[in-house]
Amino acid sequence: MFVISIAALKRNTRILREVKEAAGCRLVLALKGFACWKAFSYLRDDLDGCCASGLWEARLARDHFQKQVVTYAPAYDEADIAELCAFTHHLDFNSWSQWLRFRGQVMAHPRFLGGALHCGLRINPECSTGATPLYDPCAPGSRLGVTADQLAGADLTGLSGLHFHTLCEQNADDLATTLAAVEKKFGHLLDLPQFTYLNMGGGHWITQPDYDRERLVRLVREIQEKYRVEVWLEPGEAIAIHTGVLRASVMDVFESAGHRHAILNVSASAHTPDVLEMPYRPDVFLVDSAPPSGTRLPAVVFPGEIYHLAANPQSPIPNPQSPIPNPQSPIPTRLGGPTCLAGDVFGDFSFPRELRVGDTLVLDDMAHYTMVKTTTFNGVKHPPIALQHEDGRLEILRDFTYEDFRDRLA
Ligand SMILES: Cc1ncc(COP(=O)(O)O)c(C=O)c1O
């Protein structure tokens, strides 16, 4: 079961609200990272709205968040544009060719003419600061955003915003580096009075304890004052980090050629795909009655439960055929999912005792980029989704059925 803590969400959005108020900028939730709309009512007061990655997320923002909608997609079609023009507040384009194709349609729309709809262009400052190539939109030949040379001599009529997104789980020092590149390559555009907003994308790890919030505030203020633009930030992860867990149960335990395996009722491939893609290794806790082995707790705790953090897993995700490492640890166990994918593996974890069928494990930090990416691959049961309210009450928002699996396929 996915369980999201309202108290933890509010702790994050309070921090984000303080930052945006200190910086005097706007801050919206990136739905691609967290889109559990039944929790929106707890976020709404602190945030300005949502950032949508296309028409469907934009509709969700309009219908359930009911504040500002800022939309950027790598490509739109005519039907997307027709519908988005009716309600989105920003419509940002990824390429010059998309803007050329749709600018007539957009600029003729009454909301554009009336000043309710603003258009922007995603720029690529060609400044890589991140560690993971999969998340680097500035890599040479990137398909994301327009480079400065592509804009030389272009007729910019109709555009009022620039948008960049180059960070992933990064601190304000990398934003400073990126802003220097943006100013160097696109400062002459920001100087033009027609440009009224600068969207600095997501990837700002603002709610992490070591994030330099004061520096972010200074950077945003400087840019706003220098170019007279309104800055928008659109974090996803910072809103939902440390707010949710995935609770799993052990369905089987066995040994095979020296490997101790536990099969869980949740799947790395179907329910936590970033474990394989990013790769991201969650902390795993065993729920037990014996005294805990440490003081770390998962993001969501239940009264009466005791949590044992499993010993640090290895990275990267092991090859399913490789021997299980970490011979020092008491009981190294390879946690796998219930699908037929050989690599449906969360990793090798060491527990203070042997796992048993029926044990509960808690996979930490599973609210962001997890629930939005789940599938019903192999027909595995989708975990229910629940909220833990501030008074501790558990509310099941959704329990999935066989019909949900069936109906998505035709
Ligand atoms: C354009 C854009 N904005 C915002 C975000 C949110 O980023 P994060 O969740 O890392 O803050 C992303 C993530 O990929 C993105 O592509």
For 221, the 3-state DSSP assignment is helix
Look at 201-205, 279-283, 321-325 and tell me which has the smallest mean pLDDT: 321-325
Q: How confident is the model at residue 321 (pLDDT cuts 50, 70, 90)?
A: low
Determine the pLDDT at residue 158.
98
- Ligand 1 centroid distance, CA of 199 (Å): 11
**CB of residue 30 inside a 6 A radius of ligand 1:** yes
Determine the pLDDT at residue 327.
45
Q: List the beta strands (DSSP E) in 49-175.
A: 49-52, 68-72, 90-93, 118-122, 161-163
The token pair at 118 is 């603003």
- Ligand 1 centroid distance, CA of 337 (Å): 28
**CB of residue 203 inside a 6 A radius of ligand 1:** yes
Look at 11-15, 77-81, 156-160, 287-291 and tell me which has the smallest mean pLDDT: 287-291
pTM of the model: 0.93
| Mean pLDDT, range 82-89, rounded to an integer | 98
**CB of residue 137 inside a 6 A radius of ligand 1:** no
What topology does CATH give the domain 2-240?
Answer: TIM Barrel (3.20.20)
Q: Which residues are paired to 163 by β-bridges?
A: 122, 199
Distance of CA 78 to the CA centre of its chain: 27
Establish whether the linkage from the previous residue to 193 is cis, with ω within 30° of 0: no
Determine the pLDDT at residue 290.
77
CA distance 150 to 164: 15
Number of residues assigned to the chain: 410
Q: How confident is the model at residue 330 (pLDDT cuts 50, 70, 90)?
A: low
Domains of the chain, by residue range, sit at: 2-240, 244-366+374-408
| Mean pLDDT, range 383-400, rounded to an integer | 97
For 39-77, the pLDDT digits (tens) are 999 999 999 999 999 999 999 999 999 999 999 999 999
- Which protein residue has the closest C-alpha to ligand 1 atom 10? 203
For 113-145, the pLDDT digits (tens) are 999 999 999 999 999 999 888 889 999 999 999
Q: How confident is the model at residue 81 (pLDDT cuts 50, 70, 90)?
A: very high
| Mean pLDDT, range 283-306, rounded to an integer | 87
For ligand 1, mutation pick of 19, 26, 31, 32 (most atoms within 8 Å of CB): 32
The token pair at 278 is 């990013």
- Ligand 1 centroid distance, CA of 204 (Å): 9
Instruction: Quote the Cα angle for 405-377-261, to 5°.
Output: 125
**CB of residue 51 inside a 6 A radius of ligand 1:** yes
Q: How confident is the model at residue 316 (pLDDT cuts 50, 70, 90)?
A: very low
Angle formed by the axes of helices 96-107 and 78-85, to 10°?
50
Q: Which residues have C-beta within 8 Å of that of residue 199, sequence separation ≥ 6?
A: 70, 72, 90, 92, 120, 161, 162, 163, 164, 165, 231, 232, 233, 234
For ligand 1, mutation pick of 15, 91, 234 (most atoms within 8 Å of CB): 234
CA distance 72 to 94: 7
For 184-216, the pLDDT digits (tens) are 999 999 999 999 999 999 999 999 999 999 999
CA distance 262 to 343: 14
**CB of residue 202 inside a 6 A radius of ligand 1:** yes
Looking up tokens 């160097």 gives: 184
For 105, the 3-state DSSP assignment is helix
Q: How confident is the model at residue 322 (pLDDT cuts 50, 70, 90)?
A: low
235: pLDDT strictly greater than 60: yes
Q: Which residues have C-beta within 8 Å of that of residue 141, sequence separation ≥ 6?
A: none
Q: Which residues are paired to 387 by β-bridges?
A: 4, 395
244: pLDDT strictly greater than 70: yes
Nearest 5°: phi and psi at 103?
-65, -35
Q: What is the mean pLDDT of the chain?
A: 94
30: pLDDT strictly greater than 80: yes
Rg over CA atoms, the chain: 23
- Which protein residue has the closest C-alpha to ligand 1 atom 4? 202
CA distance 138 to 131: 12
Identify the CATH number of the domain defined by range 244-366+374-408: 2.40.37.10
